[in-house]
Structure 1
Amino acid sequence: MGMKAIFSHRLYKHKIDPDFVMSMTHTLRVFNQAKHFRYQADVRELRGSKAKSSVSIHQRLKQRYGLNDYYANSAVQEGRALLSAQKELKNVYMHNKKEQISAVKRKIKATKARLTTLQKIKGSFVKGTPMFNKTSREQQKGAFFVVTYKHSTRLFYCAYDFEHQHLDVEIKHLKSRLGQLNFKKDRYEEQQTQLTNKVTGVCFGSKKLARGRLTQKSYHAHPERWQKDWAAARYGKMTISGRKDAKSGNFVFHYHPETHTLTFKAIDQCVIRLADVVFPYGQDHVNRAIQTQMNLKDKKKYGKPIAWSLEDHGDYYIVKCLIDVPATPYLNTSTSTG
């Protein structure tokens, strides 16, 4: 079984009752504010800046934002999922940083070995008895000094030219590179320490848009445009989790397959009816899931939750139905045969 999100077609706002549009806008904003509060409360507790409250987060959300149990549960679940995702992402970042530090250390080791070889050659030239490592690319052949590369060869006719045009230049370059690599290693180790000790937060609405208020000319000249985009990014989506013991798989959203009507009770207790909610790519899956759930007698034992998501895209809404779909048998997942 796998979760599948089935999209509806566009539900344009000018075709919906203005009171319903206002109520949905209010519901989206309040629900997302509750989700942000739930996540930030956990972050503050993890950072130690605020003691853990004796009141459960469900009760705090219900008292602060006037939510019922179903909206509060969904906000808590989304906040918990976001926090869990951040922890997993943090582990990925720490693993990547560890690999980066190992790669830089290998480069430092190779650079030091190369620098030591050239410094020994330089010291032998200072003593007047040029000596070369058998495995180095610098060799003396007769009266000439040769530097062999993969696709080319440099030839020096005297020891002075070889020493000052090649050895000194390479030693200076390697010392500079070694300093850069050590700086990079220290920076990576500092970042690794921050990842280990620091509890990172989330910028709801994206950091790019938050910075764009002062960095983008279009937003700097028109602040109201930024406020509109910022509100859309922060408060534009809502997902209500399903319940397997509900008649239609969800206690907030109810879909009627016969009339293609979606009804749900908003946070302000307004019952919203959206007509002509059609799923062009998966209508059969939605109908089958809802009919199966409604026909079950023992829903607590055999029922399956059906989650619903509402997204505001400016001039229109999009509804998503999240249902469990059986995996396709005998599906070839190999990419070797195309």
Structure 2
Amino acid sequence: MKTISYSNRLYLSELESQVIKEDIHLYHQMVIRSYRLIYHKNYHGLQINSLQKKVKSFYGTNDYLPLSAIHEAKALFKSSSSLHKLHVKKLDKQISRIKQKVDKTRKELEKIENQIQQLIHKTREGKQTKSDYLLEVQILKPTLKQLKSRKGQLNFRLNRVIAKQRKLTHRVPMIHFHEATSMTIPGRRQGKYSNCIFKYHLDEDTLVYRSRQQEIHLPIEFQPHSEQLKDKIKLPHNTAGKAVAYQIMDKGKYFIIKAIFDLNEIPIHTTKGNGCIGVDINVNHLAVTEINKEGNLVGTTNYPILGYNAKQRKHNLQGIIKTIIEDCAMKQKDCIVENLDFEQAKSESLYQSKRRNRMLSEFAYRQILEMFIRKGVQWGVKIEVVEPAYTSFIAKIKVTRQYGLSIHQGAAMIVARRGMGYQEKIPRQCQYFASTWKQMKQVFKNAKPTEHPLLSLIQ
């Protein structure tokens, strides 16, 4: 797994700063040109024999900068293509949900129209009563008008989303680049210094940057993982994991350099034989529940995600995840995390509160899962991902009342049990009404609101 080590602030002379800024600007132009060539090659059939030679000859430089720019341009194109597919998939789901609402509204319309036709037929036969008249005038006709309006709005929304999807499918958007502030040079495992342009002299703690005009010596100190970085550079020539990539970032008055390399993984020392720790991920908190090897409850904790903006919440979340993984490492228990998808919740954010929408839009589950995996690698803790289907519902039925847990804490317990291989069976008194948890949930949903669903099942 890749990790990052940051350097100290580098305050350079005006001449050296200008040299680096010119290289960053040239590199950024190469990235833009490479991306556009790749884009037209994939979507418009542009014929290119050698992208490297084309970019190199256009700017008249050596191979190092063009190869790095092409590498980043390919990564940008791949990410933009994946994002485009995700948007198309999201629109497909949205169209499907709107069509379901249209069908439901159409059926309700047909039902109301049939009732009105029955009343009209009753009137022609002279059998209409006062209650029939009031039903038609006060309930059926206003409801019919409301349903027709809703159907028109849904059809308008459906046509708009279909047109948006058709436009997005026929024309894949191109990335709009901003002003260049950084330059990334991939590493190489051949050679002494693990990089083509940056040379890290370990004995002098100096990083030499080979620009197009001159060599710039940078007194540098990397933190964290500085010792692991030095060990990577000391590896023999052409050894797997020796490559170190460097990213130089222009911060205005100073520069910062990031070293990116493979982290030395600690051997896994946790096991399911001691039990597991399950994590239920929510927008505003993490619910953590510990179970023993028999699957019984040991303890539970709630960790609120604090902060007024995304950066504060991310920093707070990193501390929470570190605490959870350290606890797993100390107790030698695997960490079980649920595999979530917030796309549907985000697509429905139009109808929620402003604060919840902001928190949901800033909530990146993949980023949280990556935090768990990274900390697990550093502490030798195994991270396992399980499907979260019906965990909250099962917890509500089986464990919340028994152990006095909240829904989220119970869901974390079910996640942990699922990670250990336990299967939750439907209670015996409910097996007559449902054979699967999906049917069970539907039965509870259809129960009367004035009585407890379980009582309605037993009776």
- Same fold by TM-score greater than 0.5: yes
State the alpha-carbon separation in 2 of the partners of residues 24 and 333 from structure 1.
45
| Equivalence for 2:233 | 290
Deviation, 1:259, is 2.7
Q: Distance in 1 between matches of 2:138 and 2:15?
A: 81
Matched-pair contact (CA < 8 Å) for 2:84–2:172: no
Q: Where do residues 1-338 of structure 1 align in structure 2 (5 Å cutoff)?
A: 2-11=1-10, 15-48=11-44, 51-54=46-49, 56-128=50-122, 158-205=131-178, 234-266=179-211, 268-275=212-219, 277-292=220-235, 296=236, 299-300=237-238, 302=240, 304-328=242-266, 329=268, 330=270, 332-335=334-337, 336=412
Shift of 1:197: 2.4
Deviations 1:198-250 (A, max 9, x none): 23200112xxxxxxxxxxxxxxxxxxxxxxxxxxxx21011001111121110
The percent identity for this pair of structures is 26
Q: Structure 2 length as normaliser, TM-score? A: 0.55
Inter-partner Cα distance in structure 1 for 2:163 and 2:264: 46
SS of equivalent residue, structure 1 residue 326: coil
User: Which whole-Å CA distance do the structure 1 matches of 2:205 and 2:123 have between them?
Assistant: 93
Q: Residue type of the partner of 1:326?
A: N
Q: Cα deviation per residue 1:3-54 (whole Å; 9 max; x = unaligned)?
A: 112222322xxx3121110001001100011000110122233443x84245
Where does residue 316 of structure 2 map in the other structure? none
Structure with the larger RCO, 1 or 2 (CA within 8 Å, 6+ apart): 1
Deviation at 1:103, TM superposition (A): 1.1
Which secondary structure state, in structure 2, belongs to the residue aligned with residue 5 of structure 1?
strand
User: Cα distance 1:245–1:162, how it changes in 2: closer, same or farther (>3 A)?
Assistant: same
CA RMSD of aligned residues (A): 2.3
CA distance in 2: counterparts of 1:77 and 1:172, whole angstroms: 59
- SS at the partner of 2:256? strand
Tell me how far 1:302 sits from its aligned partner.
4.2
The alpha carbon displacement at 1:303 in A equals: 5.8
Q: Is the 8 A contact 1:43 1:199 kept in 2?
A: no
DSSP-derived class of the 1:162 partner? helix
| Paired position in structure 1 for 2:381 | none
- What code does the residue aligned with 1:263 have? V
Q: Look up the SS of the partner of 1:71 in the other structure.
A: helix
Measure, in 2, the Cα distance between the counterparts of 1:66 and 1:260.
Answer: 33
Measure how far apart 1:288 and its partner are. 1.7
* CA deviation after TM superposition for structure 1 residue 308, in Å: 0.5
Would you say the 8 A contact 1:249–1:303 is kept in 2?
A: no
Q: Structure 1 residues 313, 166: closer, same or farther in 2, change over 3 A? A: farther
In 2: Cα distance, 1:179 partner to 1:107 partner: 12
Aligned AA (2:217): R
> Structure 1 residues 306-315 or 23-32, which shifts more?
306-315
Structure 2: distance between partners of 1:3 and 1:65: 31
For the 8 Å contact 2:185–2:246, the answer to whether it is kept is yes
Q: Which runs of 5+ in 1 are unaligned?
A: 131-142, 144-156, 206-233
Higher deviation after alignment, 254-263 or 76-85: 254-263
SS of the equivalent of 2:192 reads coil
Q: Please list every run of 5 or more consecutive structure 2 residues that lacks an aligned counterpart in the other structure.
A: 271-324, 326-333, 338-411, 417-459
What SS class does the counterpart of residue 194 from structure 2 fall into? coil
SS of match in other structure, 2:336: coil
- Cα distance in 1 for partners of 2:56, 2:182 equals 20
The one-letter code of the counterpart of 1:43 is: Y
Alignment: residue pair count: 272
Distance 1:71 1:78 in 2: 11
Q: Secondary structure at the match of 1:128?
A: helix
SS of 1:10's partner is coil
Structure 1 position 129, deviation (Å): 5.8
Alpha-carbon distance in structure 1 between the residues aligned to 2:117 and 2:216: 86
Secondary structure class of the residue paired with 1:269: coil
Runs of 4 or more, structure 1, over 3 Å off, are: 157-161, 330-333, 335-338
1:319 and 1:37 map into 2 onto residues whose CA distance is 25
CA distance in 2, matches of 1:333, 1:41: 45
